[in-house]
Structure 1
């Protein structure tokens, strides 16, 4: 049974490697034109990164929960604020 499974996987690998379905001719640029968009359209689709002071209440609460697990971070959170404490102990804010 193991021999049959190995033989099947090897034959699939050979078919995938020898197949011409994934390759494109060098002169075919029309297929790639649909992939690229203008800067104005991309800026409307892509989410803009927020400034550090614009975190929502939910985001601040999740940072607070992470920081409460570390006593040093929790103490710094009480004195310097949640953003400064999280950044000092865990690095940049992920959102």
Structure 2
């Protein structure tokens, strides 16, 4: 699995944890829906550091976690109940 695919998988999983669609994440982060969708596909060739930072902040994780091939998101279940996290942020 290449790094783009790892990032895409982690992005999709993290979004699913919060039940976010691309439009929800756009509202929270300001990252364009088309960019989010391209990153979810795993076919992108690169991503700006600022975009990764925004996505990580919106998904309540550290940027490097989005690139971790062995990331176990179940260890971060506390984030599901993180105070103030909802689709309207």
- Fold match by TM threshold 0.5: no
Q: TM-score band (shorter)? A: under 0.3
- Structure with higher RCO (Cα < 8 A, 6+ apart): 2
**TM superposition score normalised by structure 1:** 0.25
When Rg is computed on C-alpha atoms for both structures, the one with the higher figure is 1
TM-score, normalised relative to structure 2: 0.26
